[in-house]
Amino acid sequence: MEEKKSCCGSAERGALDTEQPVKKKPAAKKTTAKKTPAKKTVSKKAEEKETVLAEKAAELTAETDAPQAVIQEAAQEIAAASAIAGTEREGMVLIPAGEFLMGNNFRQYGFPKDGEEPVHKVKLDAFYLDTTAVTNAQFREFVQATKYKTEAERFGWSFVFRQFVQPSDYHRVISRVPGTSWWIGMYDAYWYCPEGPSSTIEDRLDHPVVHVTWNDAKAYAKWAGKRLPTEAEWEYAARGGLEQQLFPWGNELTPDGKHMCNIWQGVFPEKNTARDGFLGTAPAKWYDPNGYGLYQVSGNVWEWTADWFSPTYYEESPEYAPQGPAKGERRSMRGGSYLCHKSYCNRYRVAARNSNTPDTSAGNIGFRCAADV
């Protein structure tokens, strides 16, 4: 059994001594994006889809030669599709109600102290889930609409991966994190300047937003009329309909040599060959989606879930719609990040669990939202 290793997502805000006064920050840069109108619940695309479906249904009813079973099956398909079309939410997919086996018993792949065991049956109602992590462009809309200040901005600093710190920002480095020396506490790093003021999101608007705490994620979700997924919902959706596989697409990390997610290649934390195409974040919609049409549930950025985290929760969690422990100190995160490597932190598996304090932010932590049907 392998002992738990420090994870690429486990530097926490309390680990750094930031008693020294926080320097006054320059005013945030102005952005030029226009405000987009509020999203309608029923999109135009959905309406069009419904019309097409209705026409198709009429055609089918007229077809008297078709065997009854075929008509019935087609009708059921149409009904199901219309139901979805009628309530379609932009950028989200409907995850159908069902049950699945949550957790992982393959000990050689996991870390017992993460609490991935025991594998247990979970039943869930249908829900909507964002097809991608919330992007910089989406988060910017939220900030422009609400003037929201993230916790990284209020604390005045966040965690940046050491290789990303640019020389022009060296004077903003606070210190390294004991035990996870690849994390640098850095003044003035926040969602808009992910590696400090020498960097900007303007060239990566379609990438996931990072440096958002659990509290920030919750505030965004509320503004968007959504919520964070529970840990069980996240894993159910991430599995994409497959049962007890390691990844959202199966058991092989790179089927036929093909990269399916954005993690670390090479030697962590010294050398990243970026064979998958990315040293840092990748665009939120990249690689093939899973069986439910979800992009990058594995790798790229850690995703906050609604639940408190407890490594013993699976031993006592209810079968129906588990909501996590009633209280805790850390919130559960899922999916792994571009810093995960099998030698160190193979937490890009669908069953892998991680957590952090709700006020921690880092350059590899983001989120996606869920919504009730």
State the Cα–Cα distance between residues 83 and 106, nearest whole angstrom: 39
262 binds, among Cu ion, Ca ion, none (CB under 5 to 8 A by kind): Ca ion
334 binds Cu ion (CB under 5 A): no
262 binds Ca ion (CB under 5 A): yes
347 binds Cu ion (CB under 5 A): yes
CB atoms within 10 A of CB 5: 15
The DSSP 8-state label assigned to residue 6 in this structure reads P
278 binds Ca ion (CB under 5 A): yes
> What are the CA-CA distances from residue 341 to residues 210, 268, 274, 347 (Å)?
19, 7, 11, 8
Q: Considering only the stretches 2-10, 65-73, 269-277, 325-333, report the one whose residues sit in contact with Cu ion under the rule CB under 5 A.
A: 2-10
Are 137 and 131 in contact, with CB atoms under 8 Å apart?
no
| Nearest distance in Å: CB 337, Cu ion | 6
Q: x/- string (CB under 5 A) for Cu ion, residues 38-77?
A: ----------------------------------------
345 binds Cu ion (CB under 5 A): yes
161 binds Ca ion (CB under 5 A): no
208 binds Ca ion (CB under 5 A): no
State the Cα–Cα distance between residues 173 and 73, nearest whole angstrom: 62
Q: Considering only the stretches 66-74, 182-190, 206-214, 332-340, report the one whose residues sit in contact with Ca ion under the rule CB under 5 A.
A: 332-340
Are 151 and 136 in contact, with CB atoms under 8 Å apart?
no
Structure tokens at 322: 């588990």
350 binds Cu ion (CB under 5 A): no
Q: Considering only the stretches 141-149, 256-264, 328-336, 355-363, report the one whose residues sit in contact with Ca ion under the rule CB under 5 A.
A: 256-264
The only residue of 216, 233, 276, 303 in contact with Ca ion, by rule CB under 5 A: 276
Q: Which is nearer to Cu ion, 158 or 364 (CB)?
A: 364
Give the H or E element holding residue 75: helix 68-86
Non-local CB neighbours of 266 within 8 Å, separated by 6+ positions = 272, 273, 274, 341
User: What is the DSSP track for 125-165?
Assistant: --EEEESSPPBHHHHHHHHHHH----HHHHHTEEEEEGGG-
| Nearest distance in Å: CB 272, Ca ion | 7
185 binds, among Ca ion, Cu ion, none (CB under 5 to 8 A by kind): none
Q: Considering only the stretches 99-107, 136-144, 195-203, 274-282, report the one whose residues sit in contact with Ca ion under the rule CB under 5 A.
A: 274-282
| Nearest distance in Å: CB 368, Ca ion | 19
345 binds, among Ca ion, Cu ion, none (CB under 5 to 8 A by kind): Cu ion
Are 32 and 54 in contact, with CB atoms under 8 Å apart?
no
Cα Rg for the chain, rounded, in angstroms? 22
Are 297 and 248 in contact, with CB atoms under 8 Å apart?
yes
By CB under 5 A, the count of residues binding Cu ion is 6
| Nearest distance in Å: CB 66, Cu ion | 53
268 binds Ca ion (CB under 5 A): no
The DSSP 8-state label assigned to residue 34 in this structure reads P
Residues that bind Ca ion (CB under 5 A): 262, 276, 278, 338
Residues that bind Cu ion (CB under 5 A): 7-8, 336, 340, 345, 347
